[in-house]
Chains A and B, each alone.
Chain A
Amino acid sequence: MAYQKIVSTGSVYKGKTGMWLYVFHRVTGVGLFGYLLLHIISTALILLGPEIYEGAEAVYKNFYFRVAEIGLMAAVLGHAINGLRIITVDLWSKGSDFQKQLNFVSLFIFLVIFIPTTYKMTTSYFDLCLEKSSSGTTVVDCIIRPIPDWK
């Protein structure tokens, strides 16, 4: 019986793009909340004066954190654009008829903003690192150095 077949497949929902966008929204949401707490603490350190604040900020200024910052940008942009997609599906009466198109439009908008942003954040890191560091510093030094020797 067709009905029994449905029962025996268990309760695991196997959606496609929509399910993965739901997973993406939850994972980025939880991640962004965690980063928000870290960010509130590091910013509040400014009350303790320039030395402590800039000492804490220096940790953020190595290349690995720049990669994480690009990931942060991806999470913020992705969560924002996917959120707009969700609002569109919720409030536009024909939204659910155009889910596939809305997914593609969302991905397109994301890439149009994210790609140039990543380019700027990467090139700017090396430009500033080479400019601020003592002469003789190479791009490789900028990548492997855990904490920069400048402020």
Chain B
Amino acid sequence: MQTTRTDWGRRQPPIGGSSFELQAWFFMRVSGLVLVFLAVWHMFIMHVFNDTLNLDYEFVAARWETPYWRAFDWLLLALSLLHGTNGLRVVIHDNIADKTIKKLAHSALYGTSLIFFIIGTYAIVAFVRQV
């Protein structure tokens, strides 16, 4: 006998679960909004107002002489990595059905992001002009 479902698209919301997904959703909106300014401004400075053909050691050294640009670059690094990591977390969740592989992919993602966050932060904080 065929049972007829009439509740399509009206799944019960989980009761008593954590609010992590809601917070992640909210974070994507807030960080995305900030990144529209940070990332697009960064792209325009590097690729439109200047030309990457002129990009050299001196350019970066002069930029990082002001703490303002170090702070700008670090905020861009942190937000884009977090925004990208959460985006990929959802992409992995949606596209990998196998639970073990999903867990492995998530672990690899978090590990990679953490390492690159440390490398990037170290470069911005520890840079000292050599010439």
B56 sits at the interface (CB 8 A): yes
Instruction: Give the distance to chain B from A10, nearest Cβ to Cβ, in Å.
Output: 15
Alpha-carbon gap, A26 to B93, bound state (A): 13
Interface residues of A in 87-131 (CB under 8 A from B): 87, 90-91, 117, 120-121, 124-125, 128-129
Also in contact, A129 and B116, with CB within 8 A (given A33-B87, A33-B88): no
* Structural contact, A76 and B80, CB atoms closer than 8 A: no
Interface residues of B in 71-94 (CB under 8 A from A): 77, 80-81, 84-85, 87-88, 91
* Structural contact, B123 and A47, CB atoms closer than 8 A: yes
A141 sits at the interface (CB 8 A): no
Instruction: Give the distance to chain A from B94, nearest Cβ to Cβ, in Å.
Output: 9
Alpha-carbon gap, A61 to B47, bound state (A): 12
Bitwise, A42-76 to B at CB < 8 A (1) or not (0) is 01101101100110010011000000010011001
B4 sits at the interface (CB 8 A): yes
From B36, B43, B61, B85, give the contact of A73 (CB < 8 A): B43
- Interface-lining segment among B16-24, B27-35, B96-104: B27-35
A16 sits at the interface (CB 8 A): no
A12 sits at the interface (CB 8 A): no
From A3, A117, A129, give the contact of B53 (CB < 8 A): A129
Instruction: Give the distance to chain A from B66, nearest Cβ to Cβ, in Å.
Output: 16
B60 sits at the interface (CB 8 A): yes
Contact residues in A for B58 (Cβ distance below 8 Å): 50
Contact residues in B for A46 (Cβ distance below 8 Å): 57, 60-61, 123, 127
Contact residues in B for A76 (Cβ distance below 8 Å): 39-40, 43
* Structural contact, B53 and A44, CB atoms closer than 8 A: no
Interface size on A, residues (CB 8 A): 42
B131 sits at the interface (CB 8 A): yes
Instruction: Give the distance to chain B from A51, nearest Cβ to Cβ, in Å.
Output: 9
Instruction: Give the distance to chain B from A23, nearest Cβ to Cβ, in Å.
Output: 11
Instruction: Give the distance to chain A from B16, nearest Cβ to Cβ, in Å.
Output: 25
A146 sits at the interface (CB 8 A): no
Contact residues in B for A41 (Cβ distance below 8 Å): 116, 119
Alpha-carbon gap, A49 to B55, bound state (A): 14
* Structural contact, B52 and A61, CB atoms closer than 8 A: yes
Residues of B within 8 A of A (CB): 4, 29, 32-33, 35-36, 39-40, 43-44, 47-48, 51-58, 60-61, 77, 80-81, 84-85, 87-88, 91, 112, 116, 119-120, 122-123, 126-127, 130-131
Beyond A29-B88, A40-B120, A87-B33, 6 additional contacts (C-beta under 8 Å) are: A46-B60, A50-B130, A57-B56, A61-B52, A121-B51, A124-B51
